Structures are given as C-alpha cells and as structure tokens.
Amino acid sequence: MAAYSLLSTLFIQSSSPFSRFPNRTQKLLPTSKPSFLFPTNKLSLSPLRSLVPNQTKTNANIKSDTDYLVSSALDSLFLLCTSLALSFSLFVTDVGSASAFVVTTPRKLQTDELATVRLFQENTPSVVYITNLAVRQDVFTLDVLEVPQGSGSGFVWDKDGHVVTNYHVIRGASDLKVTLADQTTYDAKVVGFDQDKDVAVLRVDAPKDKLRPIPVGVSADLLVGQKVYAIGNPFGLDHTLTTGVISGLRREISSAATGRPIQDVIQTDAAINPGNSGGPLLDSSGNLIGINTAIYSPSGASSGVGFSIPVDTVSGIVDQLVKFGKVTRPILGIKFAPDQSVEQLGVSGVLVLDAPANGPAGKAGLLPTKRDAYGRLILGDIITSVNGTKVTNGSDLYRILDQCKVGDTVTVEVLRGDHKEKIPVVLEAKPDES
C-alpha cells in the first residue's frame, strides 16, 4: 500500500506541467487526463506546431520550445516505466484485484465476551479429567486387564492435591486416573465419599505448582436468572465451556447410589452432558457455586435442564471427608415402607417396617410391623412428625434428619393403632461410621 502511494505521488508530480513549467500554461494539452492511460483521446498538436518554422520567432523562443518537448518526452517515458514496474510487482505478489489494497480491521470483542473468555482462561487450570478403570478378565486368554468403564470431571480443592467430584463418577473403580489441565496424568486415591449426597474426594501426588485450587463461593444467596458457567469434559472432549442461567432453586433429586433425596439443588439451563458430572458450576465472578451432577433427559443428552449440588452442602461434606475420611450423618435406625404402600392404606406418614433393638428407634420403643401367630399383618408405628415438623413421606424424614446432628434428641410423633404418641429418640451415627 505504501509503494502504491509513493508511485501515485510520483505519477501526479510528473504528469503536471505546472510543476516544471509554470510560465508555459499556453502549451498545456487540452485534456487533464494522462494520454498513456486514455489512448482514445486525441493528441494535442500544440507542442507539434512549435516545430513548424516561424520567421517571427526568435532563437530564444525556439530553444525554449525544444527544451519543453524533450522534457515532455522524458516525463512520458518515466510514467511508462513506473506503470510497468507497478504491474510487474502486482503480478509477482499474486494479489487479487479485489483485495490488493484491502486493510483488515482487528477483531474486537464486547465487554461481556471478554469477561467470559477471561473466566474460562482463569478457571480451566482448576478443572481435571477423571478416568474410571475397572478390572476385567479376557474371556479367551483369561488375562486380567484394566479397562475404562467411565469418565467424568472434577476440580482441585486445595494445594494438598484433593480433588472433588461426584461419587457416581468413581463408583466401582479399581483404579482412578486424574488428568490435569496441562495433560499430565496421575494416579488418584479415594480419600472418602458420601453416597447419600453423591460427593467424593480424591487425592493426587502432583507438584503444588501444578495445582490451582478453585475459588469457593456461596450458594445461599443465588437468584433465578443470574448467569452461570459450567466447565467440564463432556463425551471425553477437552475442557468445554457452556453458559446459561439459573432456571430454578431448591430443587430435589435422588442420589444415584442410595436413592436418598438431595435437597436445595440448583437447576440450570447450561448444557450438561455425560462427562460433565463432577465439574464445577461457576457464577459470573468465577466462584464455585455447585457441582454438576445430573441431567433430566430421556435421550441422555442435554435437554436444557441440569442439576448441581449447591456448594454450601458440598463444603461441609468435603471438610469431613478430608479430616475423617467419612461423613457422620445421624439416623433413626429404622426401615420404612415405600410411600406408595402407605398411600394405599389411606394414611399420611412413614410406616416403620423394622426397628432393630440396638438402634436409636428400637431403644426408644418404636414398634415395627410384624405378623401375629395366625400370619395376620400387624402394622407398626406410623411417623407423622419429628420435632413438630409434619412428615408425609420418606423424603420429609430425610430432610429433617439432615438438619440434625449425631447425639441430638428429637421428638417423634407416631400413630399407634388409633391414637398418637410422642417418643423422644436420641440420634446415632451409622454403625459403619461410628
């Protein structure tokens, strides 16, 4: 482009007779266009008439006319050489006629786009890829092999190498591999897990300079409509970002392992697909607000409804798993009937099927369902409320117990026969967690 501007300047200067002969305006050609570019124009005979002998002209005038003719010839020769040089340069560089002098403007991003790009770049180092390996025996050779049986995502929790993910991502694994953002892979050990809330903690022996803990936020003040961002490895692909908004709060889903309800779940329309499980859900500041856990889809792919366990629930579970390797959760020590069976009886509550004598409910005197000497079914106690909170099904009972601690004394109101009784029960931990 610069070469073209220089040649254009030379062309204008050389083609203008005013620049070289300011006193010979009467010798100008009748057209202002260069004759070598427009050959159809008639050549002016004014300079040629100067060659005809004129007895009235002086020797000085004749000499001046001769100098002008020579100068014009030199100018035309210069312009011809310049045109040829320009044409040759365009031919050599092979520049298209339409784009020879087109200047491409730099790409500019909007403010919200820049914020999204920055969020992805800053939080990607915290997201890991988890491979679940299982032992399989070859049918023909009987060799024992480790084969991938699933994969998912996770994120770095601290500099000690703790990685948080979903329990269903690591369930049934004989070996686990964790791949960091720089594509380095490490063997992972299970620190602990909580099947009821679908949370697990792993640990990798990676250098601390490669571990980037994710910033932890809060989920208590979330609002429907605020933007959220999900980072994970769907379908085994590299780090992928999907965006959306919070489309619902305080949802309830069931744990994939135990069927126990998980309360206060975040619902989002950010695309969550197989492989996103265990990955982080972030707010617009890049802070962790949940763990992507499940999708609601008959086809198994994202249908616009995804669920994430809130970070306030996850934080307490992770702290217990890191410190003790287990989660101590209180229980009543009962087995209860399915909700459909109680509805068929025409009552509302939780029917006690079994209450072991060494459990909290058995020690307190709750009666289980049993048969008499004639084989007739005798219904046990039906729990209708705990601490004054109404209980209509098993989910209500779990929800109340999640708010209690081991050692707490709760007042259980039961329907026994045709009357109600209130029984105090001291909550205990699971036998395998004591």
Q: How far is the CA of 372 from the CAs of 362, 366, 380, in angstroms? A: 19, 17, 12
Predicted confidence at residue 265, as pLDDT, reads 92
Examine the pLDDT at 30 and tell me if it is beyond 50.
no
Q: What was the pLDDT predicted at 305?
A: 82
pLDDT at position 16, please?
44
pLDDT, tens only, 144-169: 454 456 688 999 999 999 999 999 88
- What is the per-residue pLDDT for 36? 42
322 vs 31, higher pLDDT: 322
Helix (H) or strand (E) holding 253: strand 240-254
Reported as type and span, the H/E element at residue 147 is strand 144-156
Of residues 277, 302, 308, 385, which has the active-site annotation? 277
Query: 133 CB contacts (<8 Å, ≥6 apart)?
Result: 146, 147, 148, 149, 173, 174, 175, 176, 177
Instruction: Please give the Cα distance from 329 to 327 (Å, whole number).
Output: 6
pLDDT at 247: 92
How far CA 237 is from CA of 184, 232, 377, 395, in Å, comes to 16, 9, 56, 37
Catalytic site includes residue 198: yes
Average pLDDT score over residue span 362-376: 89
Q: Please, what's the largest Cα pairwise distance for the chain?
A: 156
Q: How far apart are the first and last CA of the chain?
A: 81
How long a stretch of residues is the chain? 434
Indicate if the pLDDT at residue 270 is higher than 50: yes
Question: Is residue 168 flagged as an active site residue?
Answer: yes
Contact 391, 385 (CB under 8 A): yes
Q: Is the pLDDT of residue 336 over 80?
A: yes
Provide the pLDDT for residue 56: 46
The band of 212, judged by pLDDT with boundaries at 50, 70 and 90, is very high
Reported confidence tier of residue 3, pLDDT bands at 50, 70, 90: very low
Please indicate whether residue 8 or residue 92 has the higher confidence score (pLDDT). Answer: 92
Tell me which residue has tokens 């692909």. 237
Catalytic residue among 168, 219, 264, 283: 168
225: alpha, beta or left, given left = phi > 0 and alpha = psi -120 to 50? left
The whole-number pLDDT of residue 69 equals 66
For the segment 44-77, what is each residue's pLDDT rounded down to a tens digit?
Answer: 444 444 444 444 445 555 555 566 666 777 777 7
Mean pLDDT in the chain?
78
SS3 call for 61: helix
Catalytic residue among 198, 269, 381, 396: 198
Q: Write the Ramachandran bin of 264: left for phi over 0, alpha for psi from -120 to 50, otherwise beta.
A: left
Return phi, psi of residue 157, to 5°.
Answer: -95, -40
* DSSP conformational letter for 214: P
402: pLDDT strictly greater than 70:
yes
Distance CA 92, CA 86 (A): 10
Which residue stretches of 17-176 are H helix? Answer: 46-49, 59-93, 111-123, 167-170
Query: By mean pLDDT, which of 79-93, 96-110, 160-174, 281-295 is the weakest?
Result: 96-110
Reported confidence tier of residue 101, pLDDT bands at 50, 70, 90: very low
The pLDDT tens digits of the residues spanning 120-137 come to 999 999 999 998 876 655
Question: Using an 8 Å Cβ cutoff, are 217 and 350 in contact?
Answer: no
Mean predicted confidence (pLDDT) in 384-395: 90
What are the tens digits of pLDDT across the range 73-90? 777 777 777 777 766 665
CA distances from 184 to 105, 187, 348 (A): 39, 11, 55
Mean per-residue pLDDT, 343-356:
87
Residue 2 banded pLDDT, cuts 50, 70, 90: very low
Nearest to 167 by CA among 202, 193, 143: 193
Q: Is it the case that residue 13 has pLDDT exceeding 50?
A: no
- Determine how many CB atoms are found less than 10 A away from the CB of residue 314: 23
Closest to 151 in 3D by CA, of 135, 136, 173 = 173
